[in-house]
Amino acid sequence: MSESSVAIDLDSLITLAAGGRIDELEAGWNDAIESQPSARKLISVVNALAREHRGRAAPLLNTALEAYQAAKAHGDAIDVIRALVPLGSRNAELGEAYEQAVRAAHKGEEWLDLFAELSGLGGDDDVEDIIDRFDRLAGLLPGRVVYHRSGWGEGLVLRIRMSDQSMVVRFREDGMERDMPFTTGLDVLTSLDPEDLRARLLTDIDGLKEQAESAPALLVRAVVEVSRGKAASKDVKNWLEGPVIEKRSWASWWKKAKTAAVHDPYLRVDNPSRPVFELRKVPLSAVQELGEAVARTNDLKGVLDVVRGPLTLDPSPEMMAALLGHLGTALDEAGEMGLVVSGKEISARLEALMLLVRHEARPVEDLCKLLDGLVTEKRRFFDVVEHLSGAGARRESLDAFIKARPELWSDDVLDDLGRMPAPLLTAVAGRLVESGRGPALANRFHIFLISPSKQPIAVLRLAREFGDGLFEGIEEAPAHIEVVMGLLHLAETQAPKASRGDKPAKEVMRELGDVLLRRKGGLLAAFVDQAPRPSLEAAVSLLARCSGMPDEIDTEVHRLVENRFPGLVPRDEIPFWETGGIYCTHAGLARRNKEYRVLIDEKIPENSETIGKAASYGDLSENFEWTSAIEQQRQLTEKAAAMEAELKVAQAIEDQELPEGIVVPGSRVTYKEGGKSKTITILGPWDLVDGVISYLAPVAAGMLGAQVGETATLKLPSGDVDVEILKIEAVVESTADPSADD
């Protein structure tokens, strides 16, 4: 039997003894003896017997004595004899047993014969007197701690001199060493138990410090024991601050120790905020202790704090039933939750119900129903789960929410992607792709990349998932170049803040470096390998103008770029088409704005009417018209959100300074490919008519910045193609003032 299980059994025996359940106690006593616990633990059981049952103590102890004698556990036998003497067992047979145990336990010690003589061991004196004298003499041996009753306090016995029957003691109070005959020591010194706090302060400081960290409640209990069974926080501080706990660490340690001591089964506490601890004669059982802890709470959250930890420790069936019972009662008493409640109240109710569902004390349908009720027009999914205590709880709530709203859950979470913490965002992204909503997720990713500093957590986490292949096979997914340029633009805003010590920015830069450089697959390496020269020039130029950029990113970009384009030098100014905006002609912008207004003012309102009409047809679970209208609503709202985000960063090509002699948006380019001459017009993504190509398309992007006579490499899906620039014509007239920036 393990030591921990023995301790649990003995605590149960103490409860039986205190409750007067003698028959059960005697049955358990024999089982306990077989496990060979220390005699002191068995004696603590006998000490718990009520007064009317004290007569049953001696037979129990005699049984234990016989077992220890048979096992030649002489020290335990001595402890049992000491406990038997006050019960009236002072006969010669007990004295003989004591002498045999003492001589066997201390065989070969130089002081044994002297102490036997001074104590009267084996003589005709009263057994109690013999034991008392011998114990006091044994307490004067080297290494033992004694207490001087006349004012010198605690002292450590350093050595004994058999020649003159004396000892040397160093006292803690003044540090002085004093010689003292054994006979004088018997009169003025009291030997302290080695486990007594006063003794350990002299012999076991390291052990006390270790216990302060691993079991602070036991240390508080030790203070209560030396304080005659009752101690306030100031008493604990007086004993421990300095020798055991450093002054600078006292506040944080006491906060932890106070909480632990409140739950110690041997301590009763008054006023937990400024506690006074009293030593219990009988420890509470684990279930009783739980009940007291729950009674001290004020609300559902308090009960959660009490039961959450024990539920993870594989409790016994009895304890499990008590834990779930208290939690279920507290949840029911919390009552029906309305719409106007705090986030913490919502979280407590959700966590309590999740724990009950996890341990099969409530059906999962209850959790689904609660989530469905909380997610209303006034409160979204993330508003509900925001204050949950951990990532695991949020993921669990997501699973229940999906089960509660199998058709509608994705609409709700898509709108909140930018607010979610990274672990929840990862779970949501995976579930969206699994459910066929990958295109909608990709659309949001596009929007985030337009202004990455607005949603840095979302950009970083989705970029991480991009590198891990989550978006593979999704046509709407952003290109590799777009993702990395978005990350570099994010670094441009966050690196200066991080270099000034801004903690959130430093965390963003740490994560960003991991995504770019250390993640499997290497986003940065693949970017440099795939991007056209102008994009790489833009990246190098961005690094050059960004203060605080980590050396590892800066160095790696330059190394990779130099390997591909030796001698590439960043331009003085980054081309306008590489700054992250969207560029179209005035006509293209007007066309896009008109499309957006038609969507907002006509199509979405018409769809809302269709949904309302379809809902009037009856059962929604078999209503094809309603399902179809809801799906159309998803598409329309997602398209509107994307268009709005794009229009916010859109600018007219005519408003930009258009350099002459190079390919820019607004150019008509004639080039030679494979011996054939071709001509294209390069404008914006909303200018597409016959013969016009967006500057974002691979064919056009590979030519941007090139001059007549140069060879440009086009990165096409079918492979790299080299073309020669033959002619460049301007088809858009710039209205920008070149001196405006001077």
- pLDDT tens, position by position, 366-396: 888 888 887 765 577 888 888 887 788 888 8
Helix or strand (DSSP H, E) at 431? helix 422-434
- pLDDT tens, position by position, 644-680: 888 888 889 998 888 889 999 999 999 999 889 999 9
- pLDDT at residue 89 greater than cutoff 70: no
pLDDT value of residue 2: 43
Contacts of 230 (CB under 8 A, 6+ apart): 224, 276, 277, 278, 279
pLDDT class for 638, splitting at 50, 70, 90?
confident
User: Which amino acid is located at 573 in the chain?
Assistant: E
- What average pLDDT score do residues 679-700 get? 89
pLDDT value of residue 642: 83
**CA 444 vs CA 160, 440, 478, 690, 713: distances in Å:** 83, 6, 10, 30, 31
Tokens standing for residue 547: 């203060």
Cβ 461 vs Cβ 426: under 8 Å: yes
- What average pLDDT score do residues 127-151 get? 87
- pLDDT at residue 523 greater than cutoff 70: yes
Q: 69-83, 135-149, 335-349: lowest mean pLDDT where?
A: 335-349
- pLDDT at residue 7 greater than cutoff 70: no
What DSSP string runs through 5-72? Answer: HHHHHHHHHHHHHHTT-HHHHHHHHHHHHHT---HHHHHHHHHTS-GGGGGGHHHHHHHHHHHHHHTT
- What average pLDDT score do residues 293-298 get? 84
- pLDDT tens, position by position, 296-355: 888 888 888 888 877 776 777 888 899 999 999 988 888 654 444 566 788 888 888 888
pLDDT value of residue 338: 47
Cβ 354 vs Cβ 394: under 8 Å: no
Contacts of 358 (CB under 8 A, 6+ apart): 396
Contacts of 250 (CB under 8 A, 6+ apart): 237, 241
pLDDT value of residue 388: 81
Q: Is 675 left (phi over 0), alpha (psi -120 to 50) or beta?
A: left
- Mean pLDDT (the chain) is 84
State pTM to two decimals: 0.49
- What average pLDDT score do residues 161-181 get? 88
- What average pLDDT score do residues 430-446 get? 91
- pLDDT at residue 203 greater than cutoff 80: yes
What is the share, in percent, of the chain residues with pLDDT greater than 70? 92
pLDDT value of residue 314: 72
- What average pLDDT score do residues 11-39 get? 83
Q: What angle do CA 479, 485, 487 make, to 5 degrees?
A: 105
- pLDDT tens, position by position, 502-513: 899 999 999 998
- pLDDT tens, position by position, 702-731: 999 999 999 998 888 888 889 999 999 999
Separation of alpha carbons 466 and 523, rounded Å: 9
Instruction: Please count the CA atoms within 13 angstroms of the CA of 321 that sit on its side-chain side.
Output: 3
pLDDT value of residue 565: 84
Cβ 609 vs Cβ 579: under 8 Å: no
Helix or strand (DSSP H, E) at 231? strand 230-232
- pLDDT tens, position by position, 568-620: 755 456 788 877 678 999 999 999 999 999 999 999 888 888 877 776 665 54
Contacts of 412 (CB under 8 A, 6+ apart): 375, 380, 381, 405
